[in-house]
A and B are shown apart, each in its own frame.
Chain A
């Protein structure tokens, strides 16, 4: 079945450091890929997404590129802030005819803590 693997955490960085959180997936077909974020005390929020190979999703300074050849969707940010401290989840969803549908399959989540 479909699966998502994220790098183990927790990740601890100083403010303004570069962030990479690795994500690889296994799926049939060509899924849509997502990064969700959960800030302390809040629900899951969509951070960014990419629906086909070579697409780059971006939001709030975060970027991730859909790499079909390596089945990866790594999350990056050039300069993290304390407010980026949260749990980050990589996820996939089946895609057909340009529309994703059905359930999301999540990775285990990566805790990010950013210190001043």
Chain B
């Protein structure tokens, strides 16, 4: 079974440009999460989808970040316009519906973003 896949794995863009990160969760996982780790800091929660609905977006840093999950399958995270402090690793994760007792969250390999 395929795991959580993310694309691109690495991206270098100039300040002011736009980047779109994509995440394909494990099939059947209603829960999808985005996290970010800035160099040397803790991994911080960005937002949580349940199917196509945003369950919790309390971690989104500002309105330059837009996450979508149309159709409840894959998700995209767009940063527009990118700033230097957006550099870091963006992790996507997924898990089974909570009612099924699926309390293990599976992570992708991350998308490394460098803004120069």
Residue B74 at the chain A interface, CB threshold 8 Å: no
Which residues of A are in contact with B by a Cβ distance under 8 Å? Answer: 4, 32, 36, 42-46, 49, 51, 89, 91, 93, 98-109
Q: For the complex, would chain A's binding face be called helix, strand, loop or mixed by DSSP majority?
A: strand
Residues of B within 8 A of A (CB): 4, 33, 35, 37, 40-45, 48, 55-56, 59, 91, 93, 98-99, 101, 103-110
Cβ-Cβ contact count across A and B, 8 Å cutoff: 60
Alpha-carbon distance between A99 and B72 when the two chains are bound, in angstroms: 23
Shortest CB distance A83–B (Å): 18
Q: Is the CB of B103 within 8 A of A106?
A: no
B103 close to A103 (CB less than 8 A): no
Q: Are A43 and B108 in contact (CB under 8 A)?
A: yes
List residues of chain A with CB within 8 A of the CB of B35. 104, 106
Instruction: Determine the residue in chain B with the shortest Cβ distance to A100.
Output: B103
A104: chain B residues at CB < 8 Å are: 33, 35, 43, 45, 93, 105
A101: which B residues are within 8 A, CB to CB? 98, 103
